[in-house]
């Protein structure tokens, strides 16, 4: 059986471990051969391929990024795309199946193609951990690790200068990275898109920390909007994919916190640092197991399904499980973390 594999959407630590897991399990357990498409759906539609032998995937699990490259090309919106275009590409390369590794957009495209009869399986990917159908996504643990290390560093410089330090982490729609990073680093406030919090409450947490002789630490997810500060609501426009431009919430909050509390405040945006570099051991293992699971799905011809982590097991769920609703931080997880604020 010949199998195509591609990575699509934003990159994520662990993508290479998925590719290696699929290729090794495919070759060893199922007599499969793998062809990689470069740059996501663009490579599928434009015949950009690379043969993936055991030799090519050797040692790549620890590498960040994706050896296949990625793009935000949509299989239906691109020229020559749609089910007919993708089916023709599989045929041109003599492929019996396609493994699509990606986030919500990629998996939605994969589901639509599978519904139209194409032999496609999925692997869920996002550092934000906000996809439904799976308990965790690979890349999240790495992002939290990087965030925690960065905030540990911000703490010592903050303490030396008696400053409040604001760290902005990724999380467009969900605050998982902020919540876990904040808990791990002992933040005095964690601000996430799911929870509307007033500036007065933020200032109170910061002030309480300072009263106890601490350098206040605030972790804010890029998608957070305070309840009542009009100046931080100004949109930054749209990016080239038509999505609102995020980033900058930390910089916008810092002067307001400084003004309200009288504590000198500095902001740092971690940005794409959280997505780059080597994955943690946890993410390498999770990603490898997901890749191996994808090869098993292909061997069993379970089209329209994806691998998912349930507890400690890799299971198989329909692609729509990832698409039904965004997995946001539930109230009880926020309330639990909030006991530690201030
Ligand atoms: O994968 C999701 C994410 O990490 C978001 O948290 C962030 O808003 C987005 O990617 C940024 O991606 P890019 O800059 O690649 O468009």
User: Can you give the CATH number for the domain in which 241 is found?
Assistant: 3.40.50.460
Nearest 10 degrees: Cα torsion 338, 258, 196, 140: -60
The reply to whether ligand 1 has any atom less than 6 angstroms from the CB of 10 is: yes
Say what the pLDDT of residue 321 is.
96
CATH of the domain at 66: 3.40.50.450
Q: Residues 283, 317: one domain?
A: yes
Q: Residues 133, 147: one domain?
A: no
Give the pLDDT confidence of 268-327 residue by residue, as tens digits: 999 999 999 999 999 999 999 999 999 999 999 999 999 999 999 999 999 999 999 999
Say what the pLDDT of residue 231 is.
67
Does 274 appear as a known binding residue? yes
The predicted complex's ipTM stands at 0.91
**Rounded percentage of the chain residues whose pLDDT exceeds 90:** 93
Does 106 appear as a known binding residue? yes
The reply to whether ligand 1 has any atom less than 6 angstroms from the CB of 169 is: no
Q: Residues 18, 129: one domain?
A: yes
| Residues acting as catalytic residues | 128
* C-alpha 241 – ligand 1 centre gap (Å): 11
Element (H, E) at 189: strand 189-191
Q: Which atom of ligand 1 is nearest to the CA of 275?
A: 4
Q: Please tell me the total count of domains within the chain.
A: 2
Mean pLDDT, all residues of the chain: 95
d(CA 156, CA 159) in angstroms, rounded, equals: 5
The reply to whether ligand 1 has any atom less than 6 angstroms from the CB of 266 is: no
Q: Residues 81, 199: one domain?
A: no
Q: Is 123 helix (H, G, I), strand (E, B) or coil?
A: strand
Nearest CA, atom 13, ligand 1: 10
The reply to whether ligand 1 has any atom less than 6 angstroms from the CB of 170 is: yes
Say what the pLDDT of residue 192 is.
98
* C-alpha 266 – ligand 1 centre gap (Å): 23
Q: Residues 229, 286: one domain?
A: no
d(CA 6, CA 2) in angstroms, rounded, equals: 14
Q: Residues 180, 131: one domain?
A: no
Residue from 9, 69, 128, 243 whose mutation best tests the ligand 1 pocket (most atoms within 8 A of CB)? 128
Q: Residues 20, 105: one domain?
A: yes
Domain encompassing residue 132: 2-138+279-322
Q: Residues 189, 271: one domain?
A: yes
Say what the pLDDT of residue 247 is.
64
Residues of the chain with pLDDT under 70: 230-231, 233-236, 246-247
Q: Residues 289, 224: one domain?
A: no
Q: Which atom of ligand 1 is nearest to the CA of 143?
A: 4
Domain boundary among 245, 275, 305: 275
* C-alpha 244 – ligand 1 centre gap (Å): 11
Q: Which atom of ligand 1 is nearest to the CA of 274?
A: 4
Going by C-alpha positions, the residue among 10, 11, 80 that lies closest to residue 43 is 80
Q: Residues 122, 165: one domain?
A: no
pTM of the model: 0.95
322: left (phi over 0), alpha (psi -120 to 50) or beta: alpha
Residue 342 lies in a domain: no
* C-alpha 303 – ligand 1 centre gap (Å): 28
Q: For the chain, report the end-to-end CA distance as a whole number of angstroms.
A: 58
Dihedral sign (CA 279, 284, 287, 292): positive
Q: Which atom of ligand 1 is nearest to the CA of 243?
A: 16
Question: How is residue 102 written in tokens?
Answer: 């990606």
Residue 44 has φ and ψ, to the nearest 5°, of -65, -45
Residue from 170, 269, 322, 326 whose mutation best tests the ligand 1 pocket (most atoms within 8 A of CB)? 170
Q: Residues 68, 130: one domain?
A: yes
Say what the pLDDT of residue 228 is.
84
* C-alpha 10 – ligand 1 centre gap (Å): 6
Q: Residues 34, 132: one domain?
A: yes
The reply to whether ligand 1 has any atom less than 6 angstroms from the CB of 106 is: no
């Amino acid at each position: 059986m010949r199998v195509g594999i591609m990575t699509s959407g934003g990159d994520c630590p662990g993508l290479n471990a998925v590719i290696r897991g699929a290729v090794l399990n495919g070759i060893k357990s199922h007599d499969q051969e793998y062809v990689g498409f470069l740059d996501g759906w663009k490579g599928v539609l434009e015949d950009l391929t690379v043969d993936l032998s055991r030799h090519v995937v050797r040692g790549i699990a620890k590498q960040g990024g994706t050896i296949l490259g990625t793009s935000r090309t949509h299989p239906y919106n691109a020229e020559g795309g749609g089910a007919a275009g993708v089916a023709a590409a599989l045929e041109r390369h003599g492929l019996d199946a396609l493994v699509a590794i990606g986030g919500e957009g990629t998996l939605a495209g994969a589901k639509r193609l599978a519904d139209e009869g194409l032999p496609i399986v999925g692997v869920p990917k996002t550092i934000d951990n906000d996809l439904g159908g799976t308990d965790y996504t690979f890349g999240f643990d790495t992002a939290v690790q990087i965030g925690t290390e960065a905030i540990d560093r911000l703490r010592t410089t903050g303490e030396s200068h008696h400053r409040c330090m604001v760290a902005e982490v990724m999380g467009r729609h969900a605050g998982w990275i902020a919540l876990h990073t904040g808990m791990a680093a002992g933040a005095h406030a964690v601000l996430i898109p799911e929870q509307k919090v007033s500036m007065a409450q933020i200032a109170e947490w910061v002030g309480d920390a300072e009263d106890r002789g601490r350098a206040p630490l605030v972790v804010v997810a890029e998608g957070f909007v305070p309840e009542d500060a009009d100046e931080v609501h100004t949109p930054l426009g749209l990016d080239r994919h038509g999505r609102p431009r995020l980033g900058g919430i930390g910089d916008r909050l810092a002067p307001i916190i400084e003004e309200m509390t009288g504590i000198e405040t500095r902001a740092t945006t971690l940005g794409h640092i959280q997505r780059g570099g080597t994955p943690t051991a946890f993410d390498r293992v999770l990603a490898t197991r997901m890749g191996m699971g994808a090869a098993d799905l292909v061997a069993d011809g379970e089209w329209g399904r994806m691998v998912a982590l349930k507890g400690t097991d890799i299971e198989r769920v329909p692609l729509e499980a990832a698409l039904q609703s965004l997995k946001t931080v539930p109230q009880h997880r926020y309330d639990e973390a909030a006991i530690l604020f201030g």
